[in-house]
Amino acid sequence: MKRFFLSLCLVPVLLPMFGLMLTERSQSDFSALEQTALAELKETNTPGAAVVIVSGDRVVFAKGFGIANVETGAPVTPDMLFRIGSMTKMFTAATLVSLAEEGKLKLDAPIGGYVKGLSAKFSPITAHQLLSHTAGVRDEARPYGAHDESALGGSVRTWKDDFLFTEPGEIFSYSNAGFALAGLVIEETSGKPYADQITQYVFKPLGMARSTFRPTVAMTYPLAQGHQANANSKPVIVRPFTDNVAGWPAGFMFSSAHDLARFALAFVNHGKIEGQQVLSPAVIAKLSTPYTDVPGFEMKYAYGLRVTEYRGVRLVEHGGAIPGFGAEMKMSPEHRFAVIVLGNRSGARLEKTVEKAMELMLPLKAKVEDQPPVTLPISQEEMTRYLGLYTNGQSIEIVLKEGQLCFQQRDFLFPLTKVGPHRFTFSPDPGEVEECAFVADHSGKIQYLHRDGRAFKKTTGT
């Protein structure tokens, strides 16, 4: 990973001046951002979106685009609530780390000391492992479930030992269920409902007045409806509205672009908003410290946040997707910058809009177009090393078919193309290319298959 080019001793001097220059320069440039956003809404068949940019210690751009509801035609505004999907994880992490800073728990202590009634293999897991996705918990994300807030603890306590697919601490594997357990640690440590603790530790101090987990609260504010659509179909509202209390800590938060901007302002200003210290700098530091590699990707994972580099700039980021909605937040603490985009179509990230905002506000290096990966030869002996069954709640099998190494899941079979050491691509759909990576132990024996951020443990084969 490339290093930020300014020395740390110069940052405090240069950043305020840099932020002022960017704010003044960018006022006339936001028309290009608006054009990009409108074009991308049309291109992706997304009804509407809200976009906010933070620079220095203030919001320099906030605007809604398109419509919040295809049936009413109501326009999107930056104050309108959206579901933010997995961006929720940074708020769960911020609250759990804040509790640790107050001495109410230790991040490296077994959670069995705080949460009673867990399966024997879950008790030794630590909060650190949960927040960094290294706990070995299977991934599970159900958009619909119980609405009663007791469902969080009730669900987690039904997990048996086999809900762990590998030993804690071995490998990064993205787990929504792991963050549900982190939410229960918050609840049990404080003796208060999870949603109330997020409000106490994050929403109230930051002035995120409309953010909530409770649908009956969200519905009292202007609320964007979630939509489903493909490239050629008319967007339709997702009904019923998604809700599952057992998954709240992983991805069910309601928030607005303006509310999220307040979190971003605190994050890039060492916990301060409007001159007031609202979050501990130690919390910000722990949230953004990279703790583990993500196999197959040039990124690391912190607590509820990814740490990566884009065109020479270090970014702390996370996206979100839930039926009806898509979200993205990218922050550059070194440049005191953030961009937030909320969309009301399933999986809508509006990546071109996000990139345009960064191009306007950050000293990005020239864009280099992605080159098709070079196909590398693979021997029969090497192919044999990968063969076998890999599991993480569900199973993937690597097989040989007519001399070709293939990825097989359920009834689908995809040829694998080697593009690097233990790295392969395959095409699940025409025109779509995915990458997967195999992970070996110190002796070179293949232990895991990593796909889409999830690790699958090899259970059969050589």
pLDDT digits (tens, 9 = 90+) for 289-324: 999 999 988 899 999 999 999 999 999 999 999 999
- Region of 191 (left: φ > 0; alpha: ψ -120 to 50; beta: rest) is left
pLDDT at 12 over 50: no
Give the Cα separation of 423 and 146 in Å (integer): 40
Residues of 59-92 as b/e, b for ≥16 C-beta within 10 angstroms? Answer: bbbbbbbbbbbbeeebebbbbbbbbbbbbbbbbb
Give the Cα separation of 53 and 260 in Å (integer): 10
Residues 153, 156, 157, 162, Cα dihedral to 10°: 180
Residue 188 token pair = 């049990």
Name the segment(s) of the chain with CATH classification 3.40.710.10: 1-368
Fold (topology level) of 380-458: Lipocalin (2.40.128)
Residue 61 token pair = 């751009």
Predicted local distance difference test score (pLDDT) of residue 462: 66
Residues 412-442 have pLDDT tens digits of 999 999 999 999 999 988 878 999 999 999 9
Mean pLDDT of the region 92-98: 98
pLDDT at 25 over 50: no
Show contacts of 403-412: CB within 8 Å, 24+ apart.
405/378, 407/436
User: In Å, what is the CA distance from 27 to each residue of 32, 58, 152, 210, 358?
Assistant: 11, 14, 46, 28, 14
> Which of 60-74, 100-114, 400-414 has the least mean pLDDT?
400-414
Q: 454 pairs with which residues across the strands?
A: 451
Give the Cα separation of 365 and 407 in Å (integer): 36
Element (H, E) at 413: strand 412-415
Mean pLDDT of the region 35-49: 97
Q: Which CATH architecture has domain 1-368?
A: 3-Layer(aba) Sandwich (3.40)
Mean pLDDT of the region 57-69: 97
pLDDT at 16 over 50: no
Predicted local distance difference test score (pLDDT) of residue 370: 79
The model scores a pTM over 0.95: no
Mean pLDDT of the region 225-244: 94
Residue 354 token pair = 């996000």
Name the segment(s) of the chain with CATH classification 2.40.128.50: 380-458
Give the Cα separation of 208 and 79 in Å (integer): 11
Give the Cα separation of 46 and 38 in Å (integer): 10
8 pLDDT band, cuts 50/70/90, is very low
Mean pLDDT of the region 13-40: 65
Predicted local distance difference test score (pLDDT) of residue 428: 85
Residues 259-279 have pLDDT tens digits of 999 999 999 999 999 999 999
Predicted local distance difference test score (pLDDT) of residue 10: 34
Provide, rounded to the nearest whole percent, the portion of the chain with pLDDT above 90.
Answer: 88
